[in-house]
Amino acid sequence: MKSLHDVVKSADWKSEKHVPVIDAPESAKAGDWVEVSATVGKEIAHPNTTEHHICWIALHFVPDGASISYELGRFEFSAHGQSAKGANEGPAFTDSRVSIRARLLVPGTLFATTYCNIHGLWESSRRITLA
């Protein structure tokens, strides 16, 4: 039997449109609020159409030495151009991009996971140190 981690995909976001890109400082002062964003399709646009779209992005933080993650946020994208008129005829589309502020007290690693309705689950990570 496979485990979930066996089907999570990762790649270089500069050449693969499904990989979430985490933008956050490499270092911050402990206890200060930091801006963290995650984007799918930063270099290569993701279609985000009725037929092919990013369903959600989740951001997690794993403190150094910890064996669990802390979910910072989960963001669902619900408008993909669907309509009674037909696919991609709707009045609204969402882009797979989110921003949050987080207050971190210890160094660790930020993780972003995303789910594409056709290509499955993707992940990336970014280390953040604290002064």
Question: Active-site positions?
Answer: 16-18, 46, 52, 116, 119
Q: Tokens for 58?
A: 């989740």
First and final CA of the chain: distance in angstroms? 43
**Cα distance between residue 83 and residue 10, in whole Å:** 32
**Cα distance between residue 109 and residue 128, in whole Å:** 6
* Contact predicate 79/93, CB 8 Å: yes
**Cα distance between residue 76 and residue 35, in whole Å:** 19
Q: Choose among 100, 110, 128, 99: nearest CA to 29.
A: 128
DSSP 4: G
